[in-house]
Amino acid sequence: MTAASLIQVPYHLGRESGSGLGVPVLAAALGGGGTVVERAGAYQNEPAACFDVVRALVPQVRAAAASGALPVVLAGNCHSSLGTVAALDGDVGVVWLDAHADFNTPETTESGFFDGMGLALLTGEGWDALRSGIPGHRPVAPENVVLCARDLDHAEWERLTSSTIRHVEPDALGPALEDLRSRVDAVYLHIDLDVLDPSVGRANRFAVEGGLSTDELAAIAERIADLFAIRAVAFTSYEPEGDPEGAIPTAAGRVLERLLAARAAA
């Protein structure tokens, strides 16, 4: 079975708090070990600290990829994707599985929630000066993104309507992935754990009804591994206090096990 290299990013909005505290819990459930990203520099403000974390992630993902292992990033936030994708050689597509689109910009957000901009940042929108300081960063072409998300605000709906990102329901993922395969042969797989239905376990405070079962998510991961070279995968946004039975780390472990087996067999 293909080896996985765990990379822990134990921060929430640049601080060791919130969903950052779920990272070591996930790591233990996924076999433990790996490397731990440390934010460079003192905390100054939220955006600067978030980008400090992202920049520190890049060399860790590069080293894991160079070793021949699959980088598996366990992060408190979805904007960690900026550092993960920046570390990968060549153009990659993105399959983004989430309860939310994370597609606001500084101009459209009503909450100011920085992590609600993760996919917009990855496709080259917002915080231009700070993005330009990420080693290896180049925006992902929107047409090379497949998004499966169910809880969007009005601005995100409007922005996606005019975007070439493929935003689809789970039952339409198959055709969207086939279409993406006609343009790229490698992807970054992003799994925000609130893509799972709360009946599986409550991944975080933002979890909403209508999500996937563990088996459904694992089957999607297997399908992606059949179609693409998965260059890196991330599991993000786990808050242990909302999941006292520890159901979400168990689910993540099952998904990763099936993904690795499918990737090895492909």
Per DSSP, 121 falls in state H
**Prediction pTM value:** 0.98
Exposure string (b/e) for 120-138, b if CB count within 10 Å is 16 or more?
bbbbebbbeebbeebeebe
* Cα separation values, 122 from 19, 74, 134, 175, 211, Å: 20, 17, 11, 23, 23
Strands of 142-226 (E only): list them. Answer: 145-148, 166-167, 186-192
Contact 229, 185 (CB under 8 A): yes
Q: Which residues contact 59 (CB under 8 A, 6 or more apart)?
A: 87, 135
210: left (phi > 0), else alpha (psi -120 to 50), else beta?
left
Q: Which domain holds residue 236?
A: 4-265
pLDDT at 249: 98
The residue-averaged pLDDT of 77-103 equals: 97
Contact 53, 39 (CB under 8 A): yes
CB 122 within 8 A of CB 94: yes
Q: Strands 166-167, 186-192: parallel, antiparallel or unpaired by DSSP? A: unpaired
- What average pLDDT does the structure give for the chain? 97
Average pLDDT value for residue range 142-154:
97
pLDDT of residue 266: 81
Q: Could you give the CA distance from residue 70 to residue 154 in angstroms, rounded to a whole number?
A: 36
| 101, two tokens | 């689109």
Half-sphere exposure of 23 (CA within 13 A, CB side): 30
Number of independent structural domains in the chain: 1
What is the CA angle 33-37-42, rounded to 5? 145
Q: Are strands 186-192 and 70-75 parallel, antiparallel or unpaired?
A: unpaired
Q: How much is the average pLDDT of 56-63?
A: 98
How sure is the predictor about 136, in pLDDT bands with cuts at 50, 70 and 90? very high
What confidence category does residue 2 fall into, taking pLDDT thresholds of 50, 70 and 90? Answer: low
The CATH number of residue 28's host domain is 3.40.800.10
Q: Percent of the chain at pLDDT above 90?
A: 97
Distances (CA, A) of 237 to 47, 134, 153, 251, 265: 17, 22, 19, 14, 29
Per-residue confidence band for 1, with pLDDT thresholds at 50, 70 and 90? very low
